[in-house]
Structure 1
């Protein structure tokens, strides 16, 4: 574990690592799969935002069919995203797809990201997707995990006492 007084530095290191990833030129990396693999429906290339929206809607249907407890607000979120999708500027950066602290390896003695794990959702898309994923814990309840996940959030937690930056601070570092 990391002491509370050290945590802000580790969160900042994660935000800087994400910014460095997004600063890379996807076309110059030779990763042709990043554009083609997850973003095709038949022969049509999908915008990243539209692809993510389809994944969210599919997940919602699968959970419903499996009898899993409904995620509060998921249907409304999908409707909101569908309405906003045509107005979203689909930036072209290398997106990790599952960027969060537990997919990072830090240097053993200092707050420095030395590796990122779990690249199976990598694509070329909008950087806000990674930033939103990295910030998700701030918007999930701290008092209990969600019924469909064991992930405990930070909403309502005493961030200062825990040594954690606010979500807005993390976005500014990014």
Structure 2
């Protein structure tokens, strides 16, 4: 940090490990002059952990030239000998995560909660409108035939969990093959390539303390170049249907009353973006399928003792809920 000009030579720092994620490690760094967040992979590295950190850093750096709310990038260290992995540093964001609890101002305003949901959709539409070529990040994805590759890509990911001998979850994944077949048979036409956040839901947001403005989209681990409508579908896959019952796999906020309905999210995105949202439900099913398979990977690692068992079992339950939601939609 001293070499990068973020800390005076010999300066004092306070370190606080942040909670909320299940994959990567976040540490808040408070200096006499500023506050930062360091992000690195888990101690038990996955095959692509270091490359993922580098990708995140590149994307956040590129987004500094946009209006998309995000944590400001400050520095990246690709030398794995320093901490045992690649890592990067970003500015701390002055905001709150709504899933962890609403401030009194937001908890008592139905109108503010409604605008919070629309603010998130607005950010996703802004992200999808960016030109990855001009931002220098087009090589972070393979947009050609992006939608055509999705089912085979994630089916292969699921099959790779068979290498974990302790994994006992495959027989418990309802309709996984039926969902994949439906996605291939009903796939919409490819749209103009754009930037995806890759993991768009309320758990990966920070909002302003004094209003409904989205302060930042966080956790860019799955960012890529592809069809930006995948972000809308991901949001639909995790969005609660109503205030009474979030469901195991939904990412909800209490109180929920006032947040836009899924139909309002789709309508708002369609008004803000020239992209065709008529196939939004297909993207929602893809979101359930893809997120479920990713979460099942953490459960497989938990079965092997590489992740706390309670975290893995929670994500396994969420996967089952997502697949059941997808089956309901395609029926």
Partners of 2:154 and 2:240 lie apart in 1 by: 17
Q: Secondary structure of the residue that 2:186 maps to in structure 1?
A: helix
> Gaps (5+ residues) in structure 2?
1-101, 270-331
Q: 2:195 aligns with which of 83, 90, 94?
A: 94
Q: 2:184 aligns with which of 45, 63, 82?
A: 82
Asked if 1:21 corresponds to 2:116, the answer is: no
Task: Say which is worse superposed, 23-32 or 47-56, in terms of deviation.
Answer: 47-56
Q: 1:127 matched to which residue of 2?
A: 228
Q: Secondary structure of the residue that 2:172 maps to in structure 1?
A: coil
TM-score, with structure 2 as normaliser: 0.41
Partners of 1:168 and 1:144 lie apart in 2 by: 18
TM-score, with structure 1 as normaliser: 0.74
Q: 2:150 matched to which residue of 1?
A: 52
Q: 1:34 aligns with which of 120, 130, 140?
A: 140
Q: 1:71 aligns with which of 150, 173, 183?
A: 173
Pairwise CA distance, 1:47: 2.3
Q: Secondary structure of the residue that 1:16 maps to in structure 2?
A: helix
Q: 1:173 aligns with which of 268, 293, 298?
A: 268
- Asked whether the 8 Å contact 1:56–1:78 carries over to 2, the reply is no
Partners of 1:143 and 1:122 lie apart in 2 by: 26
Coordinate RMSD, CA, aligned: 2.9
- Asked whether the 8 Å contact 1:104–1:115 carries over to 2, the reply is yes
The structure with the largest helix share of the pair is: 1
Offset from partner CA, 1:53-104 (integer Å, 9 cap, x none): 234313443567722153323221101122234x522430111111111111
Pairwise CA distance, 1:161: 7.0
- Asked whether the 8 Å contact 2:195–2:223 carries over to 1, the reply is yes
The count of corresponding residues between Structure 1 and Structure 2 is: 155
Partners of 1:137 and 1:33 lie apart in 2 by: 28
Partners of 1:138 and 1:171 lie apart in 2 by: 12
- Asked whether the 8 Å contact 2:199–2:234 carries over to 1, the reply is yes
Pairwise CA distance, 1:30: 0.8
Q: Secondary structure of the residue that 2:206 maps to in structure 1?
A: strand
Q: 2:218 matched to which residue of 1?
A: 117
- Asked whether the 8 Å contact 1:24–1:93 carries over to 2, the reply is yes
| Greater C-alpha Rg | 2
Q: 1:163 matched to which residue of 2?
A: 258
Partners of 2:204 and 2:153 lie apart in 1 by: 21
Partners of 2:119 and 2:138 lie apart in 1 by: 28
Asked if 1:108 corresponds to 2:214, the answer is: no
Q: Secondary structure of the residue that 2:203 maps to in structure 1?
A: helix
